Amino acid sequence: MQGPDQLNTLVGVLCRFQAKPIALVCDIERMYHRFRVNEDDKDYLRFLWWPEGDVNTEPKEYQMKVHIFGAVSSPGCAIFALKFIAQKYQNLGPETSRFISQGFYMDEGLTSVADEKSAIKLIHNSHTICKKGNLRLHQLASSNREVLQSIPNSERAKDLIDLDLSMESLPVERTLGMKWCIESDQFQFQIVIQDGPVTQRGMLSTVASVFDPLGLIAPFILKGKQILQEVCRNGSGWDDSLPEEMEITTT
């Protein structure tokens, strides 16, 4: 069973991520596997395993003790447990508890704070609370170099581990499906135009490929949608080349 929807809204998480000067990003390592399945539910997670990969031998039967990726129940159980941990240990810091409860979209946590001291404290308290719930925060990143210096290399995002923070520019990371330029603390968008004849199918693919949940570049995408609407009215087939005057408009 899927259970009630307790997932924080994507728009809400992203808006809070850009609300204050210093942005923070983190990830919960193997989130589903951190929570055990009830004893009565393990029968639903049975699987067969052939030793040495030889399917001609008698398989062994196993049961998963933890939640798995792909099970309908896993997201609801994991999110419930995460919010439970935040509430149980809120005495360790209300701001941290609020972040763990409201700042995560599944296993990715995003937030923003006013200053370096608050950011470092939030990271420390978040590690403490999560550790009490058998969770490990890793893949940390921040738009502030002083905050990054306080994070051990083993806990940083992959592209930040070997980075010289005193000399090199901060990279671009993918966060909740969006490209985030850490150096400028801005979202970036890249639209790839396929080579070849311009068709209705190709135009739809290009317009639909832009992931923009906050509608930041909606005015630009709207122009593409208007052109696509005009093409549909023209009666062209999905793979027909567009009339010359329309191709000029699309370029």
The answer to whether the beta carbons of residues 146 and 116 sit under 8 Å apart is yes
Which of the following CATH numbers is that of domain 10-35+69-188: 3.30.70, 3.30.1490, 3.30.420, 1.25.40?
3.30.70
Q: What's the pLDDT tens digit per position in 40-99? A: 899 999 999 998 888 899 999 999 999 999 899 999 999 999 999 999 999 988 999 999
Neighbours of 106 (CB within 10 A): 18
Would you state the structure tokens that stand for residue 111, as one six-digit string?
Answer: 């937030």
The answer to whether the beta carbons of residues 97 and 90 sit under 8 Å apart is yes
Could you give the count of Cα atoms lying within 13 Å of 244 in the half-sphere of its Cβ? 0
Domain boundaries, the chain: 10-35+69-188, 200-250
Q: What's the pLDDT tens digit per position in 178-228? A: 999 999 999 999 887 777 677 888 888 888 889 999 999 999 889 888 888
Q: What is the pLDDT of residue 201?
A: 84
Question: Rounded to two decimals, what is the model's pTM?
Answer: 0.84
